[in-house]
Amino acid sequence: MQLMNLVCLQPNISVHSVILNLSSVEFKRWLVDDLKSDWLKIKAEWLKITLNSNNDGVKWRPGKSGHFTVKSMYNMLTTNEAGPNHAKIWKGKVPNKIKIFLWLMTNNAIIS
């Protein structure tokens, strides 16, 4: 959304307004290359949205109840989706600074 504040003449325009009239968004300058490509992707996604009169709600997908819990966040962070050693790192009985260091190394965020 930071991009919209830099180049959009109406940074607070609602999704509803845009869906009703895709040409209602005006930019301060021409969109070129990646910006234009990103904007076209956003427009394509907006066309897939169906609006209704129901109230909006927030749902935490990782939680079974749909509500955020620390346990659901922990479970999400300790699954094996981020690599074979991900769960072992976070469940290890070592200081947090070592866990973070190991996690950064396994994700190639730092080079040894």
Distance, in Å, from the CA atom of 52 to the CA atom of 102, rounded to the nearest integer, reads 47
Could you tell me the two tokens for 95?
């200081």
pLDDT attached to residue 20: 79
The pLDDT, as a whole number, for residue 80 is: 53
Instruction: Check residue 111 and give its pLDDT.
Output: 67
- Mean pLDDT, each 10-residue run in order, the chain (112 residues): 58 77 77 82 81 77 81 73 70 86 78 61
